[in-house]
Amino acid sequence: MAANPVRMPKLGLTMEEGRVVHWPHAPGARVEKGALLVVIETEKAEAEIEATTAGFLRRIYVPEGETVPCGALLAALTDAADEAFDADAFAAQHGAGVATGEGAGAPGGSAPARAGSASSRAGGGAKPRGAAVPGAPAAPAARALARELGIDVAEVPGTGPGGRVTRQDVEAFAAARSEASLAAGAERVVVAPGVALECLRAGSGDPVLLLPGFGVDVSAFAPQAADLAERHAVIGLAPRGVGGSSAPALPRYDVAQAAADALAALDALGVSAPVHVVGASLGAAVALELALAQPKRVRSLSLLTPFARPTPRLAAFADAWARVAAEASADTLARALAPWLFSDALLADDERRERTLRGLAPMLARTPAPALARTTAGLRAWPGVTARTLASLRLPVLVLVAEDDLVAPGGDAIAQAVPGATLVRVAGAGHAVAAEAPEAVTAALRAHFARA
Amino acid sequence: MAGRKLSTGQAINEALQIAMQSDPDVIVLGEDVAGGGRRDGEDVDEMGGVLGTTKGLVKAFGPERVRDTPISEMALIGAAVGAAATGLRPVAELMFIDFLGVCLDPLLNQAAKLRYMFGGKARVPLTVRTVTGAGMQAAAQHSQSLYWMTAGIPGLKTVIPSNPADAKGLLLAAIRDDDPVIFCEPKGILNLVDEVPEGDYEVPLGRAKIVRAGSDLSLVGMGATVRIALAAAEQLAKQGVEAEVLDLRSLAPLDEEAILATLEKTGHLVVIDESTPRCSIASDVAALCVDRGFDFLNAPVKRVTAPHAPVPFSHPLEQAYMPSVPRVLEAVRELGIG
């Protein structure tokens, strides 16, 4: 089952836009291959555009009378009349399109294009900046820096002689992209020379630090953040590689380094009072390292769907996540992750599932594949925490496990190992428990903070 | 230090005096190094070498230790190699490095190889002082900078000071080194006058020196080109480009770490070498940068050298032949900075 875009064709070298004159079929109708699909008008003449594949006209995006540029999305055809189809997501994915020599040729027919490098999808489809010239020479230092930062050097406009891309050009490109990709309302907090993390703050009161999991940003905690901000100063930190945070250095992003980054962020924000630290999944591993390193700075520890060490399945999951991100669209990645992250209940509910995936995809797009790969390497290298180490924790610890968690099912053992820990089980939720069961998570956190 | 100033020639003379005073095995030999002085006990004012560098030595140390030789580089260098191998510490003068061809075999196949081929049982603590470079209208056969040839011979060391203080220290280190060392005296600095510390001190062989710190560009020079690099750096500073200047001092062994460090710092490197370009120190430095400093390169490596031609006799042509500040600035422009 597939959905195919219909685009405004470019019917000549000088054609720049066209007007939709007439849609002979109503939405939902079946169109045969070769049948008249749409009548358009250019400066010169009217043209009858035929369907190059058969399909059902599921959605018309440009009504009669409107003028759009060549390459713009006009409609969507699906193979089946009733297959699941999200018109908005489809439009977002196929976007306005850019008229190129070949790309905006015949309408319809072609399958949705595979996305290019993850870096160009960051921040909701940002296009390459400036005027990068394909095939322009790049200095070795520029290439080396681009590699480190996970940037495709071909996207960087060069200002050196002959259009050469210099190291400075790569630095400027990375900085501009970070700025552009910063989440609304976020700031950048410097945690090390040349390294800054995207940080969202809300509310006032005792500080709460939110550490999201692998490959996601702080919006994974959106419901909790909003609620807790009523009584706390909530600080949400995106780790290196995510959103507007600096890229992780080669070769890998260690869990201990992420913990050090979080502590440095607290320093930079002037937060000296002990903090309620909340971590989900990999963020929980970071939270554990942070608490073990600097217990005095932690007022309470909340570990959502945590793991004590990277199991083979967990490592393989992260590795697959990084690979799919490198080769496929964010939508496809979200779909691939869905069975791992969510409960049966959510997956069975079509409407809920599709809505969740729609929200998940743009968040996933904010972490480029090279950053995921380095974080995966750091995860694999994490030695984990032993029962003995956990037993040494003298902090109020909440362990929240999800009963349908396929990724990190062994959380109970952590609760057993920590003296005085509170264990909360959430039924009917998968690994992404904060997204699936937001109220239960919020309630558990509030209760835990109150106890601490 | 008190700011005592000497010319390079005088600094070299002082080094020889100190070396000969501190070690009775140090002898000096060459064409006219004594120059007709102190014969048969007469107190004759000696020439002290064609440029006066060894003046006063025969008076101070006698004709047995300061010897005029026949005009035969093969004989004098051969004798020096033999003397070194049998226990003396000779400082032989090869008047101009252009004459290397006449005495290459004792240096190449004897001095450079004896220690190796005798499994360490032989030592050749020889120093060969030799004048290099252009700038005095000495024409094609007396103006070459052939240090690239000796630097390429395993078993020989080659050093080249850029100023009087380093000339003294490098020569003392060279004389005391137990291996054969070619000590180059660039014409371009022989009359340069600058502060020279008193007393006995050595500049280590194989160590380059940052003579000007900067962060935008690395200018690598040797001998007479270091001053050109410094002058170019001053010009560049007016445009807001801060150049770092590295004085190689030693050509063999080459301070590779220093070269890579300055490249890593600035990402841009220009090497300025008086010699002709093929198989030059400049090319050696450039190859090093590309091989081991590849990811530091923000631009190509530029070599400013003489052209692949003999040194002209005509003054304006000779000036155009030699590396100069405008040529360095042009190379820097080609890098896209300055």
pLDDT in tens, B180-203: 999 999 999 998 999 999 999 999
Compute the distance between CA of residue B72 and CA of residue A329 in angstroms, rounded to an integer: 80
Cβ(A372)–Cβ(A321) under 8 Å?
yes
Q: What is the pLDDT of residue A124?
A: 32
| Total of domains in chain A | 3
- What is the separation of C-alpha A125 from the centre of its chain, rounded to a whole number of angstroms? 12
Q: A405 and A323 share a domain?
A: yes
Contact A141 B295 (CB under 8 A): yes
Tell me, yes or no, whether B241 and B328 share the same domain.
yes
Residue A278 lies in a domain: yes
What is the pLDDT, as a whole number, of residue A115?
32
- Same structural domain, A144 and A52: no
Q: Are residues A164 and A265 in the same domain?
A: no
What span, in angstroms and rounded, lies between the C-alpha atoms of B145 and A432? 73
Condensed to tens digits (0 to 9), the pLDDT of residues A160-207 reads 888 899 999 998 888 887 777 778 788 889 998 888 999 999 999 999
Residues B24 and B166 in one domain: yes
Q: Tell me, yes or no, whether A380 and A249 share the same domain.
A: yes
- Do A223 and A273 share a structural domain? yes
Same domain, A57 and A88: yes
Residue the block writes with tokens 């699936």: A436
Residues B66 and B112 in one domain: yes
Task: State whether residue B100 is helix, strand or coil.
Answer: helix
Q: Which residue of B has its CA nearest to A159?
A: B336
- Of B195, B229, B261, the position where a domain reaches its end is B195
Position B203 in a domain? no
Q: Is residue B174 part of a domain?
A: yes
Predicted pLDDT of residue A71 = 83
Q: Are residues B132 and B231 in the same domain?
A: no
The predicted model gives B11-28 an average pLDDT of 98
Q: Based on the fold, state whether residues A60 and A142 are members of the same structural domain.
A: no
* A141/B297 CB distance under 8 A: yes
* Buried residues in B228-246 as b, exposed as e (16+ CB within 10 A): bbbebbebbeeeebebbbb
* Judgement on whether residues B182 and B236 belong to the same structural domain of the protein: no
pLDDT value of residue B192: 95
CB contact under 8 A, B299 and A143: no
Q: H-type helices in B139-210, by residue range?
A: 147-151, 164-176, 187-190
The HSE-up count of residue A329 (CA atoms within 13 Å, CB side) is 19
pLDDT at B44: 62
Domain range enclosing A42: 3-94
- For residue range B47-95, list pLDDT tens digits in order: 888 888 999 999 899 989 999 999 999 999 999 999 999 999 999 999 9
Same domain as A334, residue A232: yes
Q: Which two tokens stand for residue B27?
A: 């002898």
Domain containing residue B259: 209-334
Return left, alpha or beta for B199; rule: phi > 0 is left, psi -120 to 50 is alpha, else beta: left
Which residues of chain A fall below pLDDT 70? 1, 13, 95-130
Per the domain annotation, does B150 fall within a domain?
A: yes
Across B304-313, average pLDDT: 98
Q: Which helix (H) or strand (E) holds B76?
A: helix B73-85
* Cβ-contact B250, B158 below 8 angstroms: yes
Residues A43/A15, Cβ–Cβ less than 8 Å? yes
| pLDDT (average), residues B258-284 | 98
- pLDDT at position B37, please? 58
What is the C-alpha separation between A335 and A449, in angstroms, rounded?
35
Indicate if B113 and B225 belong to the same structural domain. no
pLDDT at A408: 93
Are A287 and A248 members of one domain? yes
**B219 and B120 in a common domain:** no
What ipTM was predicted for this assembly?
0.76
| Interval B218-236 mean pLDDT | 98
From B308's Cα to the closest Cα of chain A, the distance in A is 27
Q: What percent of chain B has pLDDT over 90?
A: 91
Is B201 within a domain? no
Element (H, E) at B11: helix B8-22
Q: Is the pLDDT of residue B36 over 80?
A: no
Q: Is residue A387 part of a domain?
A: yes
For residue B158, the SS3 value is strand
What pLDDT sits at residue A117? 33
The predicted pLDDT at position B50 comes to: 86
The number of domains in chain B is 2
Same domain, B220 and B185: no
Distance from CA of B273 to the nearest CA of A (A): 24
Residues of B in contact with A143 (CB under 8 A): 295
Q: Is residue A107 in some structural domain?
A: no
Interface of B with A in 15-74 (CB under 8 A): none
Q: What was the pLDDT predicted at B41?
A: 59
Exposure class string for B37-49: b at 16+ Cβ within 10 A, else e: bbeeeeeeebbbb
A141 in the same domain as A72: no
In a domain, A101, yes or no: no
pLDDT of B42? 61
pLDDT at B288: 98
Give yes or no: residues A146 and A78 share one domain: no
Looking at A179, A201, A226, the residue that finishes a domain is A179
Determine, yes or no, domain membership for A37.
yes
Cα of B116 to nearest chain A Cα, Å: 40
**Does the beta-carbon distance from A166 to B295 stay under 8 Å?**
no
Pairing of strands A232-237, A206-211: parallel
* CATH code assigned at A134: 4.10.320.10
Contact A140 B297 (CB under 8 A): yes
DSSP state of B68: E
Domain CATH for A19: 2.40.50.100
Q: What CATH number does residue B302 fall under?
A: 3.40.50.920
Nearest by CB to residue A161, choosing from B267, B297, B334, is B334
Asked, for residue B131, whether it belongs to a domain, the answer is yes
Chain B segment 293-332 residues within 8 A of A by beta carbon are 294-299
Is A244 inside a domain boundary?
yes
Average pLDDT, chain A: 86
SS (H, E, C) chain A: CCEEEEECCCCCCCCCEEEEEECCCCCCCEECCCCEEEEEECCCCEEEEECCCCEEEEEECCCCCCEEECCCEEEEEECCCCCCCCHHHHHHHHCCCCCCCCCCCCCCCCCCCCCCCHHHHHHHHCCCCCCCCCCCCECHHHHHHHHHHCCCHHHCCCCCHHHCECHHHHHHHHHHHHHHHCCCCCEEEEEECCEEEEEEEECCCEEEEEECCCCCCHHHHHHHHHHHCCCEEEEEECCCCCCCCCCCCCCCCCHHHHHHHHHHHHHHCCCCCCEEEEEECHHHHHHHHHHHHCHHHEEEEEEECCCCCCCHHHHHHHHHHHHHHHHCCHHHHHHHHHHHHCCHHHHHCHHHHHHHHHHHHHHHCCCCHHHHHHHHHHHHHCCCCCHHHHHCCCCCEEEEEECCCCCCCCHHHHHHHCCCCEEEEECCCCCCHHHHCHHHHHHHHHHHHHHC
Does any domain span residue A58? yes
Could you tell me where the DSSP H helices lie in B180-272? Answer: 187-190, 225-238, 256-266
Which residues in chain A have their CB less than 8 angstroms from residue B334's CB?
161
Is residue B155, in this structure, part of any structural domain at all? Answer: yes
Q: Which residue type does A7 have?
A: R
For chain B, give the longest Cα–Cα distance.
66
Within-domain flag for B200: no
Taking CB atoms and an 8 Å cut-off, how many pairs form between chains A and B?
32
Q: Which of B195, B227, B242 is the last residue of a domain?
A: B195
Residues B72 and B136 in one domain: yes
d(CA B84, CA B122): 10
Same domain, A208 and A156: no
Same domain for B111 and B140, yes or no, is yes
CA distance B25 to chain A (A): 52
pLDDT number for residue A70: 85
The CATH number of whichever domain residue A292 belongs to comes to 3.40.50.1820
Catalytic positions of B are 142
> Looking at the structure, do residues B23 and B165 belong to the same domain, yes or no?
yes
State the average pLDDT over residues B118-128: 97
Closest partner CB to A141 (pick from B296, B334, B335): B296
Question: B46 and B160 in one domain?
Answer: yes
Q: A140–B299: do the CB atoms touch at under 8 Å?
A: no
Q: What is the CATH number of the domain that holds B170?
A: 3.40.50.970
Preferred mutation among A148, A164, A165, A250 to probe B, highest tally of B CBs within 10 A: A164
**Are B295 and A139 in contact (CB < 8 Å)?**
no
Per the domain annotation, does A103 fall within a domain? no
Give the span between the Cα atoms of A126 and A181, in whole angstroms.
8
